């Protein structure tokens, strides 16, 4: 077992001491899609002490092209990504303490998950969640690493509270709902490049080599052979509501948080109940048997196909309505079959 990290220890900036530090750290990954599975695999192989990975979705065939922890069986069984990821990660390194959670991460979940965490890795697919991560990071003084990609384009930036500008400084006040939905597809080398940019910064933070951090926002287009990096240190705004002198953490105090979300480019809507419930899926299956739809169930979710729609219900009460991106259609299906 002492051989396990020998190549990483031979790398001088890490060394035996750095490896010990990595071993004592806890990383939280938000999202187990393309970026999340990549980061998780890298960090688990690198020997971090603890990893928590959270995701709200389940594995589908269209994920297998780039989401490196999943296999065909996971898609067949529609396993929640958090579960499928944990199963694979445990095989990769049994020394790592891995926690996985099936949940849609919002403020209250993040406040609970953050305890004892040294670093947050962004692997989400939306800015609403990222702005919450950004505020939580500032409030609890925990660094986080932004990463995103679409088509052949990728971007990453490392946020160190009290030192670098935060995402809110850089993006200013953006209308979260107004950001255009990217539907340009994605190719796996771009995912892996973003993951590389994110996890190398993660390793620097975990071994506490802050001098080595990039200090630039980096972006690239692998198909067009373009690369850009901008030093943004002086963009830190004292007036920023997330990291400035009179900070209010606006994304944490937002009271009327949306209960429904349209999944970008996927013809799907998620409905999140106002109060978290522990849904009895076996009971629901019995009720739905009276309908003429098709039912499949695993220990984590129930899938009900009726006409051109598929309703997937999780144990925490969330439902994903596939086959529409119209919130009112989704809501009426939800009320008709699931409430």
We find the least distance from the C-beta atom of residue 216 to other proteins, in angstroms, to be 9
Q: Catalytic one among 71, 166, 169, 181?
A: 181
**Interaction residues for other proteins, span 9-48 (CB under 8 A):** 31, 33-36
Q: What is the 3-state secondary structure (H, E, C) of the chain?
A: CCCCCHHHHHCCCCHHHHHHHHHCCEEEEECCCHHHHHHHHHHHHCCCCEEEEEECCECCHHHCCCCCCCCHHHHHCCCEHHHHHHHHHHHHCCCCEEEEEECCCCHHHHHHHCCCCCEEEECCCCHHHHHHHHHHHHHHCCCEEEEEEEECEEEEEEECCCCCCCHHHHHCCCCHHHCCCCCCCECHHHHHHHHHHHHHHHHHHHCCCHHHCCCEEEEEECCCCEEEEEECHHHCCCCCCCCCCCCCCHHHHCCCCCCEEEECCCCEEEECCCCCCCCCHHHHHHHHCCCCCEEEECCCEEEEEECCEEEEEECCCCEEEECCCCHHHHHHHHHHHCC
* Interface segment toward other proteins; rule CB under 8 A; list 7-15, 137-145, 174-182, 291-299: 174-182
We find the least distance from the C-beta atom of residue 313 to other proteins, in angstroms, to be 24
Q: Does 180 bind other proteins (CB under 8 A)?
A: yes
Q: Does 242 bind Zn ion (CB under 5 A)?
A: yes
Nearer Cβ to other proteins (153/314): 153
Q: Which one of Zn ion, other proteins, none interacts with residue 174, CB within 5 to 8 A by kind? A: other proteins
* Interface segment toward Zn ion; rule CB under 5 A; list 92-100, 178-186, 239-247, 251-259: 239-247
Q: Does 133 bind Zn ion (CB under 5 A)?
A: no
Q: Does 171 bind other proteins (CB under 8 A)?
A: yes
We find the least distance from the C-beta atom of residue 243 to Zn ion, in angstroms, to be 3
**Interaction residues for other proteins, span 80-119 (CB under 8 A):** none
For residue 181, indicate whether it is catalytic.
Answer: yes
C-beta separation of 247 from 241 below 8 A:
yes
Q: Does 228 bind other proteins (CB under 8 A)?
A: yes
Interface with other proteins (CB under 8 A), residue from 4, 90, 227, 276? 227
Interface with Zn ion (CB under 5 A), residue from 28, 43, 142, 166? 166
Residues 6+ apart with CB under 8 A from 238: 244, 245
Nearer Cβ to other proteins (30/338): 30
Q: Does 179 bind other proteins (CB under 8 A)?
A: yes
Nearer Cβ to other proteins (269/338): 269
Residues classed as catalytic: 181
The binding site for other proteins (CB under 8 A) comprises 31, 33-36, 122-127, 130, 147-150, 153-155, 170-172, 174, 179-180, 182, 186, 217-219, 226-232, 234-235, 264
């Amino acid at each position: 077992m002492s051989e396990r990290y020998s190549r990483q220890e031979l790398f001088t900036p890490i060394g035996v001491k750095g490896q010990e530090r990595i071993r004592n750290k806890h990383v939280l990954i938000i999202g187990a899609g393309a970026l999340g599975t990549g980061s998780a695999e890298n960090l688990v192989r690198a020997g971090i002490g603890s990893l928590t990975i959270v995701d709200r979705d389940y594995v589908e065939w269209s994920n297998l092209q780039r989401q490196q922890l999943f296999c065909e069986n996971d898609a067949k069984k529609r396993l929640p990504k958090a579960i499928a990821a944990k199963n694979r990660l445990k095989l990769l390194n049994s020394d790592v303490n891995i926690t996985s959670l099936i949940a849609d991460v919002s403020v209250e979940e993040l406040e609970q998950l953050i305890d004892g965490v040294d670093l947050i890795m962004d692997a989400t697919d939306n800015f609403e969640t990222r702005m919450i991560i950004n505020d939580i990071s500032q409030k609890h003084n925990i660094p986080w690493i932004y990463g995103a990609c679409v088509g052949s384009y990728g971007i990453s930036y490392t946020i160190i509270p009290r030192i670098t500008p935060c995402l809110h400084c850089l993006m200013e006040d953006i209308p979260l709902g107004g950001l255009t939905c990217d539907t340009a597809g994605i190719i796996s080398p771009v995912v892996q490049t973003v993951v590389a940019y994110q996890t190398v910064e993660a390793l620097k933070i975990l071994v506490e080599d802050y001098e080595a951090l990039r200090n630039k926002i980096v972006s690239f287009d692998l198909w067009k052979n373009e690369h850009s990096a901008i030093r943004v240190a002086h963009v830190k705004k004292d007036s920023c509501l997330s990291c400035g002198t009179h900070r209010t953490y606006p994304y944490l105090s937002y009271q009327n948080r949306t209960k429904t979300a349209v999944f970008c480019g996927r013809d799907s809507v998620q409905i999140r109940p106002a109060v978290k419930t522990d849904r009895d899926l076996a009971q629901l299956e019995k009720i739905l048997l009276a309908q003429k739809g098709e039912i499949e169930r695993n220990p984590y979710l129930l899938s009900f196909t009726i006409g051109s729609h598929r309703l997937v219900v999780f144990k925490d009460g969330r439902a994903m309505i596939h086959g529409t991106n119209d919130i009112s259609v989704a809501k009426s299906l939800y009320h008709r079959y699931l409430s």
